[in-house]
Structure formats: C-alpha cells, structure tokens
Amino acid sequence: MFRSEYADVPALSTPIHDAVLGNAAAFGDTTALIDATNGTSVTYAQLAAFHRRIAAALAEAGVRKGDVLALHSPNTIAYPPVFYGATRAGATVTTIHPLATPEEFAKQLGDSGARWIVTVSPLLDVARRAAALAGGVREIFVCDQAEGHTSVLDMLGSTAPEPTVVIDPDEDIAALPYSSGTTGVPKGVMLTHRSIGTNLEQLRPFVPIGEGDRVLAVLPFFHIYGLTALMNAPLRYGATVVVLPRFDLAPFLDAIQTHRISGLYVAPPIVLALAKHPMVGAYDLSSLRYIVSAAAPLDAELAAACSARLGLPAVRQAYGMTELSPGTHVVPLDEPNPPPGTVGKLLPSTEMRIVSLVDPGTDVSTGTDGEILIRGPQVMKGYLGRPDATAGMIDGEGWVHTGDIGRVDADGWLYVVDRVKELIKYKGYQVAPAELEALLLGNDAIADAAVIGVRDDTGNEVPKAFVVRSRQSPALTGEEVMAYVAERAAPYKKVRQVEFVDAVPRAASGKILRRELRDREKRT
C-alpha cells in the first residue's frame, strides 16, 4: 500500500458554493470572470451577489432541496453563477454535454430525475426535444434570451427572498456528472459537497493560484476536470478565469496573448497543437508560467517538445477520474525536475495500491505494472440508482478499482501505462464502447459489432468499429456505418474507423473479447 508523503488535510464539510465563494467579498472588485469572445467581465462582488439572486429566483420558481437541475451549456461567464446558485437553492446539478443529441440528453434527464433545465438559446431546440422525450421537466430557463423562457439575466434582478436551505455536505449531492466508469453506459456519479471541497483542499498546496493569476477556461466546465481546475479552484482563491466556449486554436492563442494568461489546464490534443502547429509562433505567449495536462495520457516526448518550444518548465501532468472528484495525483508546480511521463505523487489523505492483473487480490512490488486502486475522502458516494455498479467499482474496504494500469517508482512517482477498462478517451472525452455497440446493433444492416479505441495518424484515440454485415446487406460500406452513427450520437462519439469481419470474437458468456481485437489491430 502506498500512502501520501504529505500531511493529511482536514475534510472540508462545507457547501460547495460557500467553499468557493465564501471569500468572494474579500476579493471585491477583482475580476472573477472574463468572456474572451466579447470582453464582458464579472467581479467577485458581482459573482457573489449574482449567484444568490439566481438561488432566490430558482427557489421562487419552485426549485427545492433534492431537486436535480440540468445545466446544458458551453463555457460562458453565466455557468459559475448558475451552478452555485442552483446548489445554494439546494439542488443537485447534473452537467450535460452541450453536443449531446436530444436522445442522449433525454436519457440523462430520465436517469437523473432532473426537473429543471438551464440552457442557452442556440441549444434550446435540443433541450426542448430532450425534455419532451424524458418527461417530468417543469421548466427550461436560458442563460441569455429566448421568447417564452425565463432568462438568468432577469433572475439577477429578482426581489424574491434568498432561500434558507440546510445542506449536509457529507451526504447531499452537489454535482452529478455522468461517467462510464470502467465499463458500460454512462452513470450518474454522486459527488457530495464534501468530496468536491475536500479535493480542492488536497490540491491546494501543489497548484498555488491567487489574485493576479489568470487561467484560460477552454476545457468544458461540464467535465469534472474543468469544473475543478478551471472553475472551483481559481474562483476559490481570487484568480481571474478567462472563458472560451470551445477550443479553436486561433481564438485560444489570441486569448492567451490578449489577456496575459499565466496558467493553462489542458488535455493532450492542445499540448500537441502548442508543440507543433506553425500558428503558435505568431502569438506572444510569454505570459505563460506553467501548463498542466490531464484527462488522458500525455506522451513524454510531446510534453518535452511543448515545454521546449514555449520556454516553460516541463508540462505537468495530473491524474484522477470523475469518481474521485477528480484528483488523486499531481506533479507539483514547484518540482524542478519531475521524471518524464509521470502523472505525479499521491495527494494528501490519499492511499493507493497497485494490484496484480492476474491475481487482483495481490499487491505488486515497486516498479511492476498493475491495476491502480485508490482510497480517500474524495471518493464518490456511488453511482445514482446503481448499487451493483457501485459495488463493482468500490470494494468492501473502500478501494476504487480505477481500471487503469500503472506502476510506481522508488520515489513514489506514478506512471499510467495502459488501462484495463474499455473506455475510449477521444480528446479527453469519454466514449463508452457499449453505448456505440448498442447503437450499431440498432441498424438492420449490421448483424454484430464491437468497438475499441485505436490511435489515428495524429496520435488521438478514436473509436473503431468491427462490423459483421447482415446477410441482407452484403454491400454495406464503412462510410454508411460512420454516417449512421454520426446521425445519432454526439460528434465526439462518432465512429471514425470501420473494419468488416466475419465474426466478433466472444467468450462463452457472450462478452466481447476486446483483447483479441486489439491484438488483431497490432498485427495490421
């Protein structure tokens, strides 16, 4: 068993809106949020007031403790006050991918029991269709303006009394993001106010941030990485968050230059662009002091190329997962020479085991590959409504079986080398093979199908489908298969490669033998 070398931190049993904005008044006129697309800004004093007015307006509309509110939006400066306003009103926020189809959105609404939606006008049609499919939604609000819908902007002028809600941080769910875990379809991850807040305390010593610092929020807030690293943490300590709705290289670089960004929290595809794209040289990025990469493995050579090109210290990595609120490891910013490829050391109050891939009950020695198990106060409460899935993820002693394969060196640095789990990570987004397989099998032209992750020419992991044509459709093409999926799934879930096979390899139980498909891929 590996224990953190750092002193334990006390659990933070505080509602997340107070944990983050409790000191907002002290930061006063310091700029909290800037919209990089138009320059609109919000001070800390305004943010503190705005989220309270939103809480009052939501309570007046009927939001009560225990309700679930679906936040369906790209990154905007309205996202944080809506999130904290909803939690102050006693609601749990389930975050929705802005590219979700109405069908995907409806599944999450139904599974989470969400009764309220906050969206933006460009996504309103999707939200309406999802609400109609799911049923049970009482009202759809918009962050901007749309006829027939209450606007968050109007909520800021609400004169309703602020709700008095008693929150139990140890038990009440603050956020309900959806994750596939180690396998299967997306499940609601119950993150309490305490688990999210305590993880902020665990991360605090290693990523120092405060007034005068500027971070660029290009990774989505709906993802737990963005929610923690780009919203909760910087707003807790008085930094300025510059917000972009999506990653496009030119606006991204322009925002760094214009707003003098000091820190970047990114995923590997952005590190690749910074290391190799010729456009980078046209911008002044001299304000940058550090880059942290997470959400997917980062190649050590690519990390070195990026830091060398920008004249920065080594790109730091971090490790975690949605079910862990999310962080368990980070390379400290003040570490002068971290070993290449490491994702860091254990955060305070966190324990880890590396267990044999052959005999999961046996711990392996230092330097040996095995599955990573984690235990600590940041562990989720469980999967919503899925006790069996929760028991399959968290064992009787509280260990989370991550499904990732890693090893630890003699100095305590963790290296993630592969994963047991079937999850595909396309540019940091989670794609569940089982979800795509179910979609493919809904096509009468397909007799059987299996999906795995493969590397494309740019080094990104992409979904590849192995398809058995039905007897009635011997001429089915790969383009037709990809188009079929593209019409029914969010863009990041699209099948990007297709191979036709005579049969999908399966065990006697019917389980797909993905290792055989991966071995086949290696031979081609």
* Average confidence (pLDDT) over 260-269: 94
Let me know if residue 263 belongs to a domain: yes
Considering the domain architecture, whether residues 163 and 33 belong to the same structural domain is answered as yes
Tokens of residue 514, six digits: 């993905």
- pLDDT of 418-452, one tens digit each? 777 777 889 888 788 888 998 998 999 999 999 99
Domain membership of residue 417 (yes or no) is no
Residue 346 lies in a domain: yes
Question: pLDDT category, 417, cuts 50, 70, 90?
Answer: confident
**pLDDT tops 80 at residue 132:** yes
Same domain, 94 and 223: yes
Count structural domains, the chain: 2
Q: How far is CA 430 from the centre of its chain?
A: 8
pLDDT band (50, 70, 90) for residue 507: low
Identify the pLDDT of residue 180: 78
Q: Quick check: 509 pLDDT over 60? A: no
In which residue are the tokens 């050590």 written? 300
State phi, psi for 200 to the nearest 5 degrees: -60, -40
Residues 29 and 141 grouped into a single domain: yes
Q: Are residues 495 and 377 part of one domain?
A: no
What digits encode the pLDDT tens for the residues 266-325? Answer: 988 899 899 989 999 999 999 999 999 998 888 888 899 999 999 999 999 999 999 999
Per-residue pLDDT at 13 exceeds 80: yes
Q: Is residue 326 part of a domain?
A: yes
Q: Are 473 and 449 in contact (CB under 8 A)?
A: no
269 and 167 fall within a common domain: yes
- Looking at the fold, whether 384 and 473 belong to one and the same domain comes out as no
Does one domain contain both 387 and 463? no
User: How far from chain centre, in Å, is Cα 263?
Assistant: 19
Same domain, 133 and 202: yes
Q: How far is 508 from 511, CA to CA, in rounded Å? A: 7
Other CB atoms within 10 A of residue 381 CB:
18
Separation of alpha carbons 495 and 480, rounded Å = 11
pLDDT at 418: 73
In a domain, 413, yes or no: no
- Asked if residue 490 is part of any domain, the answer here is yes
How much is the pLDDT for 508? 60
Structural domain for 123, as ranges: 2-401
The CATH number linked to 448 is 3.30.300.30
Contact 355, 363 (CB under 8 A): yes
Based on the domain organization, do 168 and 279 belong to the same domain?
yes
Q: For residue 465, is it within any domain?
A: yes
Closest by Cα among 117, 169, 161, 166 to 138:
117
What does residue 83 show for φ and ψ, rounded to 5 degrees?
A: -60, -55
Q: Are strands 400-408 and 139-142 parallel, antiparallel or unpaired?
A: unpaired
Domain annotation covers residue 98: yes
Identify the CATH number of the domain in which residue 63 sits: 3.40.50.12780
- pTM here is 0.89
Q: Please name which of 168, 20, 175 lies closest in space to residue 93, comparing C-alpha atoms.
A: 175
Same domain, 440 and 335: no
Contact 379, 395 (CB under 8 A): no
Q: What is the pLDDT of residue 183?
A: 66
